[in-house]
Amino acid sequence: MKHHYIDRYSDLDSPLHRLDPRVKILLAFFGILIMVSEPPGRLPPFAFYGGMLLVLLVASRLPPVFLLKRFLILSPFILMASVFYPVSLYLTKETQAIAFQREALEVALSIFLKAALSLLLLIWMISVERFHVLLMGLRKLKMPKLVGTISILMYSYLFVFWDEALKTTRARESRTPGKLTRAKLKTYSNQMAMILLHSWERSKTLHHAMLARGFHGEFYSLQKQGLKKRDVVFLVVFLLIFLNVRLFSGSLLNVAISLYHFTISLFTITIPQFDLTTPLLTL
């Protein structure tokens, strides 16, 4: 099967690819949290967040065409959700004054920017690490054990069922050439029921196989993950810059200091011997 949309560029080599998976997850999660916590209608900070994300994406050497395609596929949904804001207020005559209408449009634009930049950060996270390594990272970040186990099982069988979905789709199409004119929902439902049934039966065999291998509710990975000093420094500096923009945006001096810190942290992860403490202490 083709599943090129999952961690397609995770094998590229860049300083950001070499970060610990936990750092990537925390950076994406808290980065999104800080961006979306901007008050509705406040637009200037998004120029800075956008710039930071652009640097992150360029430094990761991700192909711009891939990012653009992925973004364009998903942007209509977030555009629709942002348009809902003024439309829903208009429908119930909650926007009467012109000034309020303008405010509603500004809020809609800020919603779009929040969603769009969060989407880009999520695409970055999934593109710079292999998916199963991210799952292991989540587990190390104390994700509930049950969700960890379900995730590993899901990831292992996702492709098996996707193949099965393709196979049953081909079988359905070969038996009903052209467009289905009758009992569409029934035909599709039977196909789904068959896939569910196969999954149910397979789970029993899998359980027996797992028990035979001594499974006791935890999966282990041979890949060793260890947080390095530079990983932590990069994460802390990145989030501090975001927090700085969130709390004190508008000050040119703050933005300049933030950019300086970001450049230093990029140096730190690119050149392992780079001593971070001296330049940081100067500010």
Q: Scanning residues 10 to 69, which ones bind other proteins (CB under 8 A)?
A: 28-29, 32-33, 35-37, 40
Per rule CB under 8 A, is residue 196 in the interface with other proteins?
Answer: yes
Long-range CB pairs of 251-255, under 8 A, 24+ apart, other chains included: 255/48
Nearer to other proteins, 45 or 266 (CB): 45
How many CB atoms sit inside 10 A of residue 43's CB? 12
- Distance (Å, whole) CA 23 – CA 125: 10
Return d(Cα 245, Cα 26) in angstroms, integer.
18
Instruction: Provide the phi-psi class of 41: left if phi over 0, else alpha when psi is between -120 and 50, else beta.
Output: left
Closest to 48 in 3D by CA, of 60, 59, 34, 62: 34
Q: What span, in angstroms and rounded, lies between the C-alpha atoms of 36 and 117? A: 9
Q: Does 236 bind other proteins (CB under 8 A)?
A: no
Nearest to other proteins of 173, 275 (CB atom) = 173
Report helix, strand and coil shares of the chain as percent, to nearest 5.
Answer: 70, 0, 30
Q: Which is nearer to other proteins, 146 or 283 (CB)?
A: 146
Among 55, 119, 133, 257, binds other proteins (CB under 8 A): 119
Contact segment (CB under 8 A) with other proteins among 11-19, 149-157, 227-235, 273-281 equals 149-157
| 232 lines the binding site for other proteins (CB under 8 A) | no
Q: Is position 235 an interface residue for other proteins (rule: CB under 8 A)?
A: no
Is 59 or 153 the residue whose CB approaches other proteins more closely? 153
Give the interface segment with other proteins, choosing from 10-18, 156-164, 220-228, 256-264 (CB under 8 A). 156-164
Considering the complex, what minimum distance in angstroms separates the CB of residue 212 from other proteins? 13
- Which of residues 17, 57, 118, 262 is near other proteins by CB under 8 A? 118
123 touches 5 (CB < 8 A): no
Residue 221 in the binding site for other proteins (CB under 8 A): no
Token representation of residue 22: 């936990």
Judged by beta carbon, residue 108 or residue 264, the one nearer other proteins is 108
